[in-house]
Chains A and B, each alone.
Chain A
Amino acid sequence: MNFNALFSDFGGYTITGLTVGAIYALVALGYTLVYGVLRLINFAHSEVFIAGAFAAIWGWAALGLDRDSVASGFGSIMLYLLVGALIAAVASAGTATVVERVAYRPLRKRNAPPLAFLITAIGASIAIAEAFGIYTRRLPVGAPTIVKPDLVLFEVAGTEVTMVQVLVIVSALAMMVALDLFINRSRIGRGIRAVAQDQNTAALMGINKDRIILVVFIIGGVMAGVAGMLYDIRIGTLTYSVGFLLGLKAFTAAVLGGIGNLRGALVGGLLLGLVENYASALFGANWKDLVAFVVLVVLLMFRPTGLLGESLGRARA
């Protein structure tokens, strides 16, 4: 074990781990929301994420930014970020809507067994990923530099914190807080909680079940779209096949925090990002998945419902 590598640069590993974790957390929200309401693992959610990530790059391209462009000036950077986030959110929400309408709703109407949903989910996931693969000729697509990656914002205890890291972590946290408030305070949020508790009773109380489910997919899509844009900014290059693994990690984060629990997704995402990064430092990057998943198994042994327990944001309170 290489303790020297870890502790000589502990701050660096922490901040990059949190950045990765923030993206996991945003994607994890989509899994957790849909699971909380439908008891369904939406495996196509990784492609909802990919759709947003590609849409942001293509949106910037439409504004005249190619892979080698560097945006400058505070005003235009903010504009590009907002436009990118908007396009990504719309594309992801759209993809999520189509998946729900095509792959899930018809099955729900016929009371299909849970396994059928699982297969249509995997089918939708593969079909969308392959479509992007064929369209991009399976080549990596470079994103423009919107935020200069070497721009250091401030320094804490000898660790440089860059603008990109702050942007990713802060926007992820802001989205989470907004979502938490929305679910707990708004009228639609109450509807979502009601459907999560008992679909049929909620329907009897006059809640339009199908509309609520659609809203859940759209919210998950918006979160995944923003995550996709943040991924573009942070990683800088997108390949059609990256969704699968990132989706798996995000799903893991959701389970780690307690699936169906919004705050759990945040905790799980950040924790997974940190554990992965520390493991890379201690044992070498080839060990990170092994360590991360051993941690997951051990944690679930002691807390089978995840760190914060399983419930859609205090729905049962």
Chain B
Amino acid sequence: MRQKLARLVGGVAIAALALGGTAACKSDSGTDEASGGDGCGSKIAFFGALTGPNAALGINMNGGVKLAVDKYNKENADCQVTLVPLDSQGNPEQAPGLAQQAIDDTKILGIVGPAFSGESEAANPLFSEAELVHITPSATRPSLADQGWKTFFRAVGSDFSQGPAAGRYIKDVLKAEKVFVIDDQSAYGAGLADEVKKVLGAAVVSSDKVQGDGKQNDFSATVTKVKSSGATAIFYGGYYQEAGLIRKQLTAAGVTATLVAGDGVNDAAYIEGAGAAAAEGTILTCPCQPATEARGSFVDDFKALNGSEPGTYSDTAFDAANILLAGIKAGNTTRTKMLEFVKGYSGEGVAASYKFTETGELDPAQVKVWAYKVEGGKVVPDQEVPRS
């Protein structure tokens, strides 16, 4: 009897799902035809890690996009825009499927993201083919701009600005003569480490590669190498989870060398991972100004909506979303029109002024690289890294 009942309930549930599915499809295709004229019911998507080992970075950005959409909807209550969060877990293997999902939803007119460089490499070719414009607030691998993707735009400087700046900071500000370079073999981490190595040249005494994406927790072999190299500064190209563990284990082994890392580590979660004592003094670079220094009421609005302080790239993501929303507001309700709009865009955001080059890069004159420092368990702005 119980089994029969279970079968019956299951069958009904499946039938309901199938019916619901077809109904949803119908209503989708129905509104498509009507949506030619106005932007009501349009969607923009955020593409990045909302779960998985590096989710804190994506959650920061999604908070910024959410705020932009929330503001837009309050100002245009009669004609709302929906935000679709696409959780890639920062995983390049999941990115193509997710990109296709975004492409298939014809109401999505633009995307903020993909957040990381690795997933960008996997997803961007699909977007380019589908002419679906995407503005990344954070994927900084330089080569992303050289792939001929016509829909690629980057609202921050690439690692060509961040990497050398990190190198200059190590050389000119820390004045370190022996530097150990570690990277996590990701598109982003290895790319950044290569740029740093170029600037530092012979000062790099040794280097090692570790595994990112939460695949490694114990770095004792690398720590032993750093210890015997006698380096006074360490550069790490990668994300916060491994960086926190590496810093904690370095300090535990008695290594006092300063750790310098890029924007992938620039998050409070790094300090949680390393512990405040070990994290103290870490230098974090970012081609972004401090999110807490964003113009206008951004910081307060962000806190009010998301219940947490804005983090790295929250402001850039907010600006990127606003560019797309300005496009919808201006009546660009097809993907082709939206692409043209972003190409020709020029305007002010809370984090920077935006204008894109032919290849989708942020106009070099607008790129600022900042160094941040961990002090008393918090990431505080240190200085803008001087241009060479």
Query: Number of contacting residues on A, CB 8 A?
Result: 39
With beta carbons under 8 angstroms apart, the residue of A12, A142, A289 that contacts B275 is A142
Stretch from B52-60, B118-126, B363-371 at the A interface: B52-60
Q: Tell me the B255-296 residues at the A interface (CB within 8 Å).
A: 269, 272-277
Pair A285/B209 contact, Cβ less than 8 Å? yes
Give the distance in Å from the alpha carbon of A13 to the alpha carbon of B228 in the complex. Answer: 12
Minimum CB–CB distance for A214 against chain B, Å: 25
A-chain residues with CB within 8 Å of residue B209 when the two chains form the complex: 284-286
Residue A155 is within 8 A (CB to CB) of chain B in the complex: no
Known A67-B276, A138-B56, A285-B211; judge A149-B221 contact (CB<8 A).
no
Least distance between A283 CB and chain B CB atoms (Å): 10
Interface assignment of A246: CB less than 8 Å from any CB of chain B: yes
When each residue 206-250 of chain A gets 1 if its CB lies under 8 Å from chain B and 0 otherwise, what string results?
000000000000000000000000000011110101100110000
Is there contact, CB below 8 Å, between B51 and A138? yes
Cβ of A153 within 8 Å of any chain B Cβ, yes or no, is: no
* Contact of A245 with B225 at beta-carbon distance under 8 Å, contacts A138-B52, A150-B254, A237-B274 already known: no
List of A residues within 8 angstroms of B269 by Cβ: 139-140
**How far does the alpha carbon of A285 sit from the alpha carbon of B273 in the complex, in Å?**
21
Q: Does B305 contact A (CB under 8 A)?
A: no
Also in contact, A68 and B277, with CB within 8 A (given A235-B218, A241-B52, A288-B221): yes
Main secondary structure of the interface of A (DSSP, over half): helix
* B217 touches which of A133, A141, A235, A289 (Cβ 8 Å): A235
- Quick one: closest B residue to A140, CB to CB? B273
Contact code string B42-73 (vs A, CB < 8 Å = 1, else 0): 00000000011101100000000000000000
Q: Decide if B143 is an interface residue (CB 8 Å cutoff).
A: no
Knowing A139-B56, A236-B249, A285-B209 touch, does A68 contact B224 (C-beta < 8 A)? no
Cross-chain contact B219 with A9 (CB below 8 angstroms): no
In the assembled complex, the Cα of A241 lies from the Cα of B53 at a distance in Å of: 7
Residues of A1-29 at the interface with B, using a CB-CB cut-off of 8 Å, are 5, 8-9, 12-13, 16-17, 19-20
> From residue A54, how far is it (CB to closest CB) to chain B in Å?
14
* Measured CA separation A19–B224 after assembly (Å): 14
Q: Is A48 an interface residue when CB atoms closer than 8 A count as contact?
A: no
Q: How large is the interface on B (under 10, 10 to 19, 20 to 34, 35 or more residues)?
A: 35 or more
Is B253 interfacial (CB 8 A cutoff)?
A: yes
Distance of A164 Cα from B218 Cα, bound (Å): 14
Q: Given that A68-B277, A236-B252, A285-B208 are contacting pairs, would A241 and B220 also be in contact in the complex, using a CB cutoff of 8 Å?
A: no
Tell me whether A138 and B55 are in contact (CB under 8 A): yes
Q: Say yes or no for A277: interface residue by CB 8 A criterion.
A: yes
B215 at the interface (CB under 8 A from A): yes
Contact present for A237 and B221 (CB under 8 Å): no
Contacts of A16 in B (CB 8 A): 218, 220-221, 224
Shortest distance from the beta carbon of B90 to any chain A beta carbon, whole Å: 11
Write out, one digit per residue, whether chain A residues 137-172 have a CB within 8 A of any chain B CB (1) or not (0): 011111001000110000000000000100000000
Cβ–Cβ contact B222 & A8, under 8 A: no
A140 to B248, CA, bound (A): 13
Asked if B272 contacts A67 (CB within 8 A), the reply is yes
Residue of A nearest to B270 (CB): A140
The CA-CA distance from A286 to B254 in the complex, in Å, is 24
Task: Write the nearest CB–CB distance from A96 to chain B, whole angstroms.
Answer: 22
Nearest-CB distance from B312 to chain A (Å)?
A: 14
Known: A139-B272, A236-B248, A280-B222. A150 touches B53 (CB 8 A): no
Neighbour of B220 across the interface among A8, A20, A140, CB < 8 A:
A20
Is the Cβ of B211 less than 8 Å from the Cβ of A289?
Answer: yes
Fill in one digit per residue for A68-97: 1 if any B CB lies within 8 Å of its CB, else 0.
100000000000000000000000000000
A281 at interface, CB cutoff 8 A: yes
The answer to whether B346 has its CB under 8 Å from any CB of chain A is no
CB of B377 within 8 Å of the partner chain:
yes
Give the residue among B55, B210, B225 with the most A Cβ atoms within 10 A: B225
B386 in the interface, Cβ–Cβ < 8 Å? Answer: no
Q: In this assembly, does B185 line the interface, its C-beta being within 8 Å of a C-beta of chain A?
A: yes
A contact residues around B277 at 8 Å (CB): 68
Contact of A142 among B53, B55, B272 (CB under 8 A): B272
**B148 on interface, CB distance cutoff 8 Å:** no
Indicate if B381 sits at the interface (CB-CB under 8 A). no
Question: Which B residues are CB-close (under 8 A) to A235?
Answer: 217-218, 245, 248-249
The complex places the Cα of A138 from the Cα of B56 at a distance, in Å, of 8
A68 touches which of B210, B251, B253, B275 (Cβ 8 Å):
B275
Residues on the A chain within 8 Å of B254, using CB: 150
* Residue pair A9, B228 in contact (C-beta under 8 Å): yes
Instruction: Flag whether B241 is at the interface (Cβ < 8 A).
Output: yes
Other than A16-B220, A68-B277, A241-B52, give 6 A-B pairs with Cβ distance below 8 A: A13-B224, A17-B220, A142-B275, A234-B218, A277-B220, A280-B221
List the 3 shortest-distance A-B pairs measured between CB atoms, nearest first.
A149-B252, A280-B221, A16-B220
User: Which residues does B use to contact A, with CB under 8 Å?
Assistant: 51-53, 55-56, 185, 208-211, 214-222, 224-225, 228, 241, 244-245, 248-249, 251-254, 269, 272-277, 377
Of the A-B pairs whose beta carbons lie under 8 Å apart in the complex, a sample of 11, sorted by A's number, is A5-B225, A68-B277, A139-B269, A140-B269, A140-B273, A237-B248, A239-B53, A281-B224, A284-B209, A285-B208, A286-B209
